[in-house]
Amino acid sequence: MNLNQTLLNRSLKSVWHPCTQMKQHETYPLIPIKRGDGVWLYDAEGTRYLDAVSSWWVNLFGHNNPRIKDAIKLQLDTLEHVMLAGFTHEPVVELSEKLGKLTGLGHAFYASDGASATEIALKMSFHYWRNSGKPHKTKFISLQNSYHGETLGALGVTDVAIFKDTYAPLLMQSAQMPSPDFRLSEASESAEAFALRCADALALYVSEHHATLAAFIVEPLIQCAAGMGMYHPAYLCRAREICSQYDVHLIADEIAVGFGRTGSMFACEQAGITPDFICLSKGITGGYLPLSAVLTTDKVYQAFYDDSTLKGFLHSHSYTGNPLACSAALATLAIFEADNVIESNQAKSAYLGSQMRALANLPIEHVRQQGMILAFDVKSKNAKFSRDCYSAALKQGLLLRPIGNTVYFMPPYTITEPEMDLMMQATLLAIQNSL
């Protein structure tokens, strides 16, 4: 038995892997990864895989990034962790100041995962209305096909059947608004016209239910987990107006799209709006350590600021504001500044889009791109397309993880043009072998 085989057998005996029917590993083997470097992941025997999905959308500047690694090492010699209740430290203060400047919001509240950030935003919004003499505003709305995480509260506003249906009896009720995902439009309609038609439906619902609504939570510009469903920013402009008009919070879940993915630092910038809450995670540490944050307005913060303890936001996680994670986030933000990443990604994103021509003869539709995310849908009758394509891509040295029939690229920003060419060639073969 080789080294890979031994490790994966031990893993199957001892580890319950996420988002997985474990029995499927009888036919689809686990891939034991030994080390990473740049866009590449290596197994124990030296076989390498190009990480075209940034390890579930978290990695921004490649594996084994010297600048992020050094920042964590430096912090490791100073302070690994201290509780954030009653204490503070330099990395959390500096990160909060920086995130405040970037988002136009403030009062950063920290947790470790995206779903926890969703929970925090929902609880803060609800509690804000309670503190403000509007205790009837308790309900949340989200988009059809939305994804906001899988803890019970976050799952309550998520609308992906395979994650949600089993747990439905445990979840709070929320209503879903028509999704502006352009794939759902009429053939004759422009993306903008469709976005505005969906926003009209939102306006109607909110006008009728605002008395009981706390917040509308939305993934700005791209519903990633729904298969990279992209939509026109006009939807967000209207959503902001509607929420302001009817006194309903707008929560921007930028967990997947924040930190440059869509071509701007945050997706909301492309609609010129500021939400009442922004949820951040995934790329925030460059993919190094778990960290999430929620930032909000002074107005929300002030509603909690009181002599009464119970009016305060009594929510916490053990690792809130962990200094190591904050130092990784600061190093990540420093790379954005030093390398002028948002600007230099423009050429990269254009090259990525142009390489779609390598796939032009495949049966595909809805080719779409927003910054460093490129996606298309494959017209295949193979009911197991996504798993077969995933396996076929691995055989070509490529980590692709199609969502249903949607194949997408969301590579680290450090990917080079020759690496993008390799990615396209491997994708071509993988799709041809799994149609």
* Chain residues in the site for ligand PLP (CB under 6 A): 113-115, 118, 147-149, 219, 224-225, 253, 255-256, 281
Quote the least distance from Cβ 269 to ligand PLP, whole Å: 17
State the CB neighbour count (10 A cutoff) for residue 56: 14
Closest to 254 measured CA to CA, from 214, 226, 285, 284: 284
Quote the least distance from Cβ 292 to ligand PLP, whole Å: 7
Cβ distance to ligand PLP smaller for residue 99 or 420? 99
Per the rule left: phi > 0, alpha: psi between -120 and 50, beta: everything else, 65 is beta
Contacts of 15 (CB under 8 A, 6+ apart): none
Cβ distance to ligand PLP smaller for residue 19 or 360? 19
Cβ distance to ligand PLP smaller for residue 281 or 320? 281
Quote the least distance from Cβ 398 to ligand PLP, whole Å: 22
Q: Report which secondary-structure segment, H or E, holds 328.
A: helix 323-338
Q: How far apart are CA 4 and CA 176, in angstroms?
A: 45
Cβ distance to ligand PLP smaller for residue 115 or 394? 115
Cβ distance to ligand PLP smaller for residue 8 or 225? 225
Quote the least distance from Cβ 113 to ligand PLP, whole Å: 4
State the CB neighbour count (10 A cutoff) for residue 175: 14
Quote the least distance from Cβ 234 to ligand PLP, whole Å: 20
Quote the least distance from Cβ 308 to ligand PLP, whole Å: 32
Residue 343 burial class via C-beta count within 10 angstroms: exposed 0-12, middle 13-18, buried 19 and up:
exposed
Cβ distance to ligand PLP smaller for residue 130 or 315? 315
Q: Report which secondary-structure segment, H or E, holds 398.
A: strand 398-399
State the CB neighbour count (10 A cutoff) for residue 277: 26
Phi and psi at 385, nearest 5°, equal -50, -50
Per the rule left: phi > 0, alpha: psi between -120 and 50, beta: everything else, 216 is beta
Cβ distance to ligand PLP smaller for residue 68 or 257? 257
What would the DSSP string read from start to end of 227-244? Answer: TSEE--THHHHHHHHHHH
Cβ distance to ligand PLP smaller for residue 103 or 281? 281
Quote the least distance from Cβ 50 to ligand PLP, whole Å: 21
Q: Residue 294's beta-bridge partner residues?
A: 109, 279
State the CB neighbour count (10 A cutoff) for residue 206: 20
Quote the least distance from Cβ 281 to ligand PLP, whole Å: 5
Residue number of the CB closest to ligand PLP reads 114
